[in-house]
Structure 1
Amino acid sequence: MAGASDASMIVTVIFGRSSFIGRSLVAALLSDVRFTVRVVDPLPAPDPTPSLAPFFQSGRVSYHHVDIRHRSPSLVTSIDGTDAVFHVDPTVTALQPPPAPSSDFQNLHLLLVQSTRNVISACLECRVQRLVYVGSADAVIGGANDVFCWDESVAYPDKFVDSLSELRAQAETMVLRANKKDGPLTCALRASNPFGPGDDNLVPFLVKGAKEGWAKFIIGNGKNSWDFTYIENVAHASICAELALRLRTPYVAGRPFFITNQKPMKFWDFLSNILEGLGYQRPSIHIPANVVLSLAEIARFFQEKLFSCRTSNSFITSSTLRSFISTRTFDCSNAERVIGYSPVVSLEDGISLTIESFSQLANCSPSVDHLDLSKPSKAEKLLGNQSAANLLLWRDDRKTFICLLALFLLHYWFFLSERTFISSAAKLLMLFALFLFVHGTLPSSMRRSRLSVYLTWVRSSTIRRNICCRKQERRDVGCLKREMHCCLLKVKVQEALAIAVDKGLGFSIEKIPLSSFEIPELTVRNCFSAAASLWNICICALGTLARGEDWGFLLKVASSLYLFKLLLRFSLPTVSAAGLVCLFSFFIVYEQCEREIESSVAAGARGLRKMMGILISRLPSSVVKYVS
C-alpha cells in the first residue's frame, strides 16, 4: 500500500487553467514531487507565471490546448499514458452564475455534459485507472428552501431550480455510472461554495457592490448559514479522493462526497468579514426578503418580455436571491471517514488569506470619514429655514415632540372627530377666543391667595380643638406634654406647607401684545411674490407643452399628474397622517443615511438611463428623433 502511494504518477487536470478549482489543484499537485501534471484546457496556452516557470523547464507540467466540448484525437493524445484524471466543473464558485437563458443553454450543455462524456470516453480508450470529478454541492439542492446538514444519502431532486444545477447533476451521474471494475474507478466531490485567492468571481463582485452602495443591505434577517470551503481544502480533498481510489478503499468507487470546511458560518457574516477586511462598510441595513424577491421578479419580467439582452449585474436573479436568504449546510463526515479528508486551512485563516490576495481591491480611503460638523448638512440646506431645520431634524427633542403632538391633535380635531371641517374650525376659533378673553382678564401678578390663607386657618383651628379635647380626656401631665410637643411640630409642618403654597402661587402673568398677531408687510409681499412666481412658472410650462418641442418635459408633467391622481384615490385623513409622519422622519433619516440614499438613487438613475437607452435603441428611427 505504501509503495502504491509513493510511486511517481502522471495526472491530467481537465479545465486546469480556465477554472478556479483547476488552477488551485494544479498548484497543489506540483507542490508534491510525486506528480507530473498535464493541464488540458480549451483556452490557449498562457505565458508561464514565475511560480510555474521552473516546473515547465523541468517537464513536470505540460499544457495541452484542447477543445473538450468536441471529441477530437488531441484529447485522447493528451490523456494517453495518464494514471489518473481530475475532471473539474469550470462553473463552480462561491456565488453561482445565474441560470442560462435559452440562447446559452446549448453552450452550457456542451461545457458540462458533452465535455464530461468526451472525457469519460477518452479515459476508457486510454485505459485510465482513476477519474475524480470535482463538482458542486448544488447538484442535489433543487428547489429546496433550506438545506440543513444534508449527507450523501439525499437523492437527486425531481425538479431543479435552474438548468445549471440540472446539467451539473447529469455530469456527476455520468461519472459515477462510468465506474467499472475493469475500467476507471470514479468518484465525485461536491464542493460547497469554494473561495480563496485567484477567485475572479466572489471578491470582485462584493467590491463592486460596495462601491455602488447596495452591498450595505442584508436581505432577510441575516441568520441563515452556509458552508464555505477554502480552495486549498478542495484541492486537498481531490488528492485524498485519488489516493483512496488508488488504494481501493471500500465505499469510495462510484460514490459522491460533500466537501466543506466543516464549520458552517452565517452567510452575511462571511460577506461582512471580507468587505470589512478590504476597508468597506459591513452590511447593516435589513431589507425584507419578500420586497427584494418581488423587485427581482419585476426586473426579470421586463428583461424577458421587453429586452433580449441580459442585465449588467448577472447575479441579481430570483434563484440567487433565494439562496442568499436560505441555509446551505452539508455533512462532511463521510469524506472524513472514508477518504481521509480534513481541512488543512481553517475558515478564519482562509478568509484572511483571501483578503490579503485581493489587496489591490482594498478601499484606499478610510471607512469612516471625518465630517466637518461646523458646516450645515445637506438636509439642513434643503430645508433652508433654520427654525424649520431645528424642528424637523430633532435638534431639540422637547420642542419637536410638542409640535408633532400639537399637529396630530389638530389632525384628530379636523379629520377624526366626525365633524365637518367648518364646524371644527369654528369651535377651535371659539376656544381660542375664550382663552384670549380669560387671559386678558387675569391680573398681571398673583401673590398670596385666599385659598392658601383659608387652608392655613383651618389647619390651625383643627389642631387647637384637638389639643383642648385631649386635655379634658387625659389629666396626666406627662401625656399632655407629649401631645403638645407633637401638635406644635405638626403646626410648624403645616406652616411650612402654607409658605410653600404661597410661593408656588406667586407668579406673574405675561400679557400677549397685539403686535404678536400682526403680519409684517414684507412677509405678505413675499407670499404674494411666491404665488405670482409659481403662477408664471405654470404659464411657461403650458407654453412649452403647447409648442410640442420637449417630449421629456411632457413625460415629467404626465408622471406628476398621474402621481397626483393616485394620491387622490386615498382619503384626505390618510394622506394628512402619512404626510405628517414622513415630514418628521424623512429629513432626519436622510441626514443619518445621506450616503446610502444618494448612492441608491444614483444606482437607480444609472439603471433607468440604461433601460431608456435600450428602449430608445429599439424604437423606429422616425420616432427616435422626437424622443431623444
Structure 2
Amino acid sequence: MKNLVTGASGFIGSFIAEELVKRGEHVRALVRKTSDTQFLKSIGVELFYGNLDDSASVRKAMKGMDKVFHSAAMVGDWVLRKDAQKTNVGGTRKMLESAIAENIKRFVFVSSLAVLGMRDHKKTPSDAPRIKTGDIYADTKIDSEELVVEYGKTRNLPFTVIRPGFVFGPRDKKVVPKMVEFLSKGKYIFVGSGKNKVNMIYVENLAKAVVDASYSDKTIGQIYNITNESGMTMMDVVNMVADTWGYKKPTKHLPKNVAYFICSILEFFAKAVHAKEAPLLNKTRLKFLSLNLDFDISKIKADLGYSPKIDMAEGMKRTKAWMDKNAK
C-alpha cells in the first residue's frame, strides 16, 4: 500500500511514518521546504514538497496513494484564530477534496480529545458531543473533525478519526521537556491538589493504533478516544518524571483561582505588547495542569483490540534516553 502522511516532519507524524515503514509500506510525506526532514530521509520516506494551504500541491502529493494519514496542524498556546482556521480547517478541507478526487481508500484523521471540551472529564466517551470553549486549537479541531465526518457521510469517504490526549515520547519538545526544565530548577508548582487525572499517551502506542485502524474495516466511519489508560494523576506523572530524571519531587501547590488570576494578568499584558510567544503561565497550559482529564477508551479497545504496549514508566525511560542522547 502507498501512504501519504502529513505532519511527518513533526512529532506524531514522524512516528506514524516510521510505523508504516516498519510494516514494509511505501510512505510519502507532504513537507514544507523549510521542514527538518533528516529523520524521514534516514528511514527511506519519499518527500513531496508543498503545503496544506495550496490545493494543487495537496492534490499532486495524493496522486497514486492508497491511504492518507492527516496529522498536520497548527498547534500552540499563542496562535491567531485566523491562522489556525486557515491551516487546520482550510487545510483539512483541501485534503478531503483531494482524497475524493484521487479515490483514496482510507483517510485517517488525527484529531484531539480537546474537541470534547476544555473542561473536567470523568470517563467521557467518544460519542459525547463536541464542545467549543473558545480554545483556538480545540475549536479548529472540532471544525476539522466535523468536515471529515461530513465528507464521510455525503461523499462516501472511508474515514477514521483518532483522538489522542497529550502525547509524549522521544522527539517531543513540549510536554515532558517542559516538566523536566522546571523540576531541574526546583520550580515546579502544582496547580490545585495535583489529584486531577491526566490523558497522556505514549507516542508509539498512538502511532501503532493509528496505523492499525487503517487496516480494519470495523473502524471505517468511526471516531475513537485514545490514551495510555494509566489512571494516573498529575501528581503521579510529575513524580514519575522526577524519579526518572533524578530530581526532587515538588511539594508546592498554587490554588486554581489564584493561578487563573495570575494567568489573566499575564495574558492581558502579553497581548497589549503584541508578544509573539505565550506567557509561561497561560490558560491553555493551565487547563492541562489543572483539569480532570479522564476519558473512556473502551470503544477502541473493543473495535481494534487496543492495549497500550508501552506503559507510562517505560515511556518515560525511553523519553529520557532520547533527551539525553539529543541534549545540546
Is the CA contact 1:179–1:253 (under 8 Å) kept in the aligned structure 2?
Answer: no
Which amino acid letter does the alignment assign opposite residue 207 of structure 2? Answer: A
Aligned to 2:92: 116
- Which structure would you say has the larger Rg? 1
CA displacement 1:105-125 (0-9 Å, x = unmatched)? 222112200110111111111
Q: Secondary structure at the match of 2:306?
A: coil
Write out per-residue CA displacement over residues 14-41 of structure 1, whole angstroms, 9 at most, x where no aligned residue. Answer: 1111x211001111111112x1111112
Identical aligned residues as a percent? 23
Q: Which consecutive residues of structure 2, in runs of 5 or more, have no partner in the other structure?
A: none
- Give distance in 1, aligned partners of 2:154 and 2:140: 26
TM-score, scaled to structure 2: 0.92
Map of 1:385-464 to 2, 5 A cutoff? none
Q: Can you give the 5+ residue segments of structure 1 that lack an aligned partner in the other structure?
A: 1-8, 363-628
Shift of 1:318: 2.6
Counting only pairs closer than 5 Å after superposition, residues 494-509 of structure 1 correspond to structure 2 as none
- Counterpart of 1:280 (choices 244, 247, 265) is 247
Q: What is residue 569 of structure 1 aligned with on the other side?
A: none
Q: Quick one: structure 1 residues 43 and 341, their matched pair in 2 at CA, closer, same or farther if it must change by over 3 Å?
A: farther
Partner of 1:36: 26
Q: Note if contact 2:63-2:102 (Cα within 8 Å) is conserved in structure 1.
A: yes
Q: Say yes or no: does 1:27 pair with 2:1.
A: no
Kept after mapping to 2: 8 A contact 1:228/1:264: no
- Counterpart CA distance in 1 for 2:46 and 2:301 is 32
Q: Conserved in 1, the CA contact under 8 Å of 2:270 and 2:279?
A: no
Q: How far apart are the structure 1 equivalents of 2:155 and 2:114?
A: 31
Asked if residue 98 in structure 1 is aligned to residue 81 in structure 2, the reply is: no
Residue 55 of structure 2 aligns to a residue whose secondary structure is: coil
Q: Of residues 207, 227, 232 in structure 2, which corresponds to 1:260?
A: 227
TM-score, length-scaled by structure 1: 0.49
Correspondence for 2:5 among 13, 37, 42: 13
Residue pairs, 1:295-374, within 5 angstroms: 295-304=262-271, 306-310=272-276, 314-359=279-324
Look up the equivalent residue of 1:41 and give its one-letter code.
V
- Cα deviation code 1:85-138 (max 9, x no counterpart): 00004356xxxx3253xxx22221122001101111111111111100011110
The answer on whether the counterparts of 1:130 and 1:186 sit within 8 Å (CA) in structure 2 is: yes
Instruction: Note if contact 2:78-2:276 (Cα within 8 Å) is conserved in structure 1.
Output: no
Distance in structure 2 (CA, Å) of the matches to 1:361 and 1:81: 36
Report the equivalent of 2:124. Answer: 150
User: Structure 2 counterpart of 1:257, which letter?
Assistant: Y
CA distance in 2, matches of 1:220, 1:287: 6
Shift of 1:211: 4.8
Q: CA deviation at 1:262?
A: 2.0
Deviations for 1:23-64, whole angstroms, at most 9, x for unmatched residues? 01111111112x111111224465644x853x53xxxx3101
Equivalences, count: 327
C-alpha RMSD of matched pairs (Å): 2.2
CA distance in 1, matches of 2:168, 2:48: 26
Check the 8 A contact 1:293/1:318 in 2, yes or no.
Answer: yes
Q: What is the match of residue 145 of structure 2? A: 172
Which position in structure 2 is the counterpart of 1:197? 170
Is 2:38 aligned against 1:75?
A: no
Q: Is the 8 A contact 1:151 1:332 kept in 2?
A: yes
Q: 1:314 to 1:122 in 2, by over 3 A?
A: farther
Structure 1 position 139, deviation (Å): 1.1
Contact 1:42 1:68 survives alignment (8 Å): no
Shift of 1:289: 2.0
1:126 alignment partner in structure 2: 102
Separation (CA, whole Å) in 1 of partners of 2:155 and 2:115: 28
Alignment correspondent of 1:64: 48
Alignment correspondent of 2:70: 87
**Contact in 2 for aligned 1:98/1:315 (Cα 8 Å):** no
Letter in 1 for 2:245: L
Say which SS state the counterpart of residue 67 (structure 1) adopts: coil
Which residue type is aligned with residue 179 of structure 1? Answer: G
Q: Judge conservation of contact 2:133–2:139 (CA < 8 Å) in 1.
A: yes
| 1:47–1:195 distance in 2 versus 1, CA, 3 Å | closer
3-state SS, counterpart of residue 265 of structure 1: coil
Higher strand proportion: 2
Question: Within 2, Cα distance between the matches of 1:44 and 1:298?
Answer: 35
Q: Distance in 2 between matches of 1:206 and 1:43?
A: 31
- CA distance in 1 between partners of 2:287 and 2:36 (Å): 38
Give secondary structure in 2 for the equivalent of 1:178. helix
Decide whether aligned partners of structure 1 residues 75 and 298 sit closer, same or farther in structure 2, where only a CA change above 3 A counts: closer
State which of 293, 305, 322 in structure 1 corresponds to 2:260: 293
* Deviation of 1:203 (Å): 2.9
Partners of 1:318 and 1:309 in 2: CA distance: 15
Q: Summarize the Cα distance change of 1:351–1:45 in structure 2 as closer, same or farther, 3 Å threshold.
A: closer
CA distance in 2, matches of 1:257, 1:329: 14
User: Are the equivalent residues in 1 in contact too, given 2:228–2:311 (CA < 8 A)?
Assistant: yes
Q: Structure 2: how far apart are the matches of 1:315 and 1:176? A: 36
Deviations 1:291-314 (A, max 9, x none): 22221122223333x422245x54
Matched residue, 2:114: 138
More helix by share: 1
Structure 2 CA distance, aligned partners of 1:337 and 1:220? Answer: 35
